Structure 1
Amino acid sequence: MPKKLLGKMAADLAMTVLLLLLMAYSLIGEAAHEWLGAGMLLLFILHHVLNFGWIKNIGKGRYTAVRVLQTALAVLVLAAMLGSMLSGIAMSRYVFEFLPIEGGLSLARTVHLPCAYWGFIFMSLHLGLHWNMVMGIVRRMRKRQASKKQRIVLRIAAAVIALYGIVAFLHNDIFSYLFLRTHFVFFDYEQPLILFFADYLAMMGLFILIAHSIGNSLLKRGGQRRKEESN
């Protein structure tokens, strides 16, 4: 496997892990949340450096439906992450405490909450649009295709995770945070941390499945259209 691709995979995996940890906020402590956020900022910069070729070619070539969706999602991820990071720096009491920032705390809190949750969703959708690439890498590492039975088991597992993700999304009242119906996140301190992460992994899986399904559908339509045009 090329070193650059390996570096991209490592950075993206680290960002996914940090994203899940950041959603735990009060459960891991404010200082830990800030340090993890600073780590996410560095990884976010690294991600864009490693993918500079894609950024450089954003205005070139033909825009298929999938490419339009990928580009739109990339812009939304960037907007949500910038909002989350800049507001986080403004509120910082540990990592960026040395910065001469005065006032604006109320605005920063108002921006930080929806940006964090929209960022979680957009990043999950972004990952879903690249899920074929992830599965391709896994297949190359295994050096063989999954059997028919294995594919059936994987599809059932994906459906179960998605259903759990819907339940977790509703149970955790994520809509309230996305649309600022409340300005505070409710954490159940009696819930084991492993169950909290299971909820958020399932929600991530739900949005990965949604984006993966939409992406594959658009690819099939594009392929059919090209066939019709060539006939």
Structure 2
Amino acid sequence: MFLLVIVHNVFNRRWYSSIAKSQRGPRGLFNTGVTFLLLFAMLALLVTSVLISNALSGIMAAYGGFTVRQIHTLAGYWLLIIVAVHLGLRWPLIMSVARSLPGITKPNTARSLALRVIAAMTAAYGIWSSFRLGIGTKLSMQMTLDWWNFDESVVGFFIHALAIAGLYTVITHYTIRLLQLRRKSSTPFQAGEQIVPLRQD
């Protein structure tokens, strides 16, 4: 996982050099903030993973205490949300790549409707999964007696996690869309139109 993160950052290294040069609006600032939160959460997860590692328990036994495990859990669940928001901000780009791979060039109403239905179903399942996994207590680092149940399916846990990620991806993407539509509707005239002054009789 960390190797994929390193490769991802290497491929997108030019983005870091463009932060100070480019003028950014609210969306750009939010995007930058989310990216650095993602970086911070990944580093926290990496450090705590080493400290609580069973393979390194003989070396790191003095550091891998209960508090470190709490921080590891907190970073892991927040990382799930931050990655989902990160994806939601880039969803148009992701969909553009997904369309270009099979060579889809023309819009299709039925396809768009089907994808929106899938997005709505994923979000609804993500809401239920949030309660199922107690995501609120995990994100607020509250003390609970909710430990890993070895009788439950591991696949089911990851399906819940993916549904929660899908929920926040959908929320982020459609919130951005709504803000864009509101901004367009508040514009008094379209680009290329001219304002004709009123005659003074």
How does the TM-score come out when normalised to structure 1?
0.73
Residue 119, structure 1, aligned to residue 79, structure 2: yes
Instruction: Provide the C-alpha distance between the structure 1 equivalents of 2:151 and 2:141, rounded to a whole number of angstroms.
Output: 25
Partner of 1:60, secondary structure, is coil
- With 55-64 and 140-149 compared, the bigger mean Cα shift is at 140-149
Alignment of 1:13-162 (within 5 A): 40-94=1-55, 96=56, 102-103=62-63, 105-144=65-104, 145-162=106-123
List per-residue Cα deviations over 1:152-208 (Å, max 9, x = no partner). 111111101100100000111011111111266533333333322221121111011
Equivalent position to 1:170, from 112, 131, 140: 131
Residue 213, structure 1, aligned to residue 174, structure 2: yes
Letter in 2 for 1:70: N
Instruction: Provide the C-alpha distance between the structure 2 equivalents of 1:41 and 1:209, rounded to a whole number of angstroms.
Output: 25
Partner of 2:101, secondary structure, is helix
Equivalent position to 1:190, from 134, 151, 164: 151
Kept in 2: contact 1:65–1:218 (CA 8 A): no
Letter in 1 for 2:78: W
Structure with the bigger percentage of helix: 1
Match of 1:200 in 2: 161
Instruction: Provide the C-alpha distance between the structure 2 equivalents of 1:137 and 1:200, rounded to a whole number of angstroms.
Output: 24
Structure number, greater radius of gyration: 2
Kept in 1: contact 2:52–2:60 (CA 8 A): no
How does the TM-score come out when normalised to structure 2?
0.83
Partner of 1:167, secondary structure, is helix
| Identity across the alignment (%) | 26
Deviation at 1:219, TM superposition (A): 4.0
Instruction: Provide the C-alpha distance between the structure 1 equivalents of 2:93 and 2:22, rounded to a whole number of angstroms.
Output: 21
List per-residue Cα deviations over 1:61-119 (Å, max 9, x = no partner). 1112221111110011111111111111111121x558567335233213111111001
Instruction: Provide the C-alpha distance between the structure 2 equivalents of 1:141 and 1:78, rounded to a whole number of angstroms.
Output: 29
Match of 1:11 in 2: none
Instruction: Provide the C-alpha distance between the structure 2 equivalents of 1:167 and 1:224, rounded to a whole number of angstroms.
Output: 34
Kept in 1: contact 2:51–2:60 (CA 8 A): no
